[in-house]
Amino acid sequence: MIYFVTKNRHKYEEAKKIIKEIKILSLSYPEIQADNIESVIKFAIEYLKDKIEEKFFIEDSGLFIEELKGFPGAFSSYVFKTIGNQGILKLMENVKNRNAKFVSIVGYFNGSLHIFKGECQGKISYKIRGNKGFGYDPIFIPNGCKKTFGEMEIEEKNKYSHRGKSIRKFKEYLNTK
């Protein structure tokens, strides 16, 4: 059994569709404010590794908007809690370049740390669309799609998403062990 340490049920449901053999472990851990997601993951794993006896993983992600020089990036969770999707859309008013990407980092600990990264290129929509998923899903349109993540069911989102990609890389690693 491998535990997914998260309090975010949406993240767990997305991961469970790809790796059936996981179980949620709803534990709090410190999320440092750092300028890159990998540092956040490494700090959290270091904090958790002596508190959990079984193999476990965590996942963190960020939205990087090209026109905003990568903002909110590693601060995505804080920015979402502070200004939400409406705030991002306000920052993007009258902006033509709507290119953005989501980045997901999975940190897996089985006695040593393993990192898996997934990216999804896309654009910021002009308005909130859809009520599925969570966070920035209703304002992010992956390249090659007309729908936002917020308009997609989990299975469809997982085909494109940053998290789907990092979790699939993690699953490939597990299949070699």
Q: Which residues are catalytic?
A: 60
Show the tokens assigned to 106. Answer: 């999975």
d(CA 122, CA 133): 17
Query: CA 29 from chain center: how many Å?
Result: 16
Query: CA 78 from chain center: how many Å?
Result: 14
Element (H, E) at 46: helix 37-48
Q: Are 132 and 107 in contact (CB under 8 A)?
A: no
List, in order, residues 6 or more apart from 85 with CB less than 8 Å away: 128, 136, 138, 139
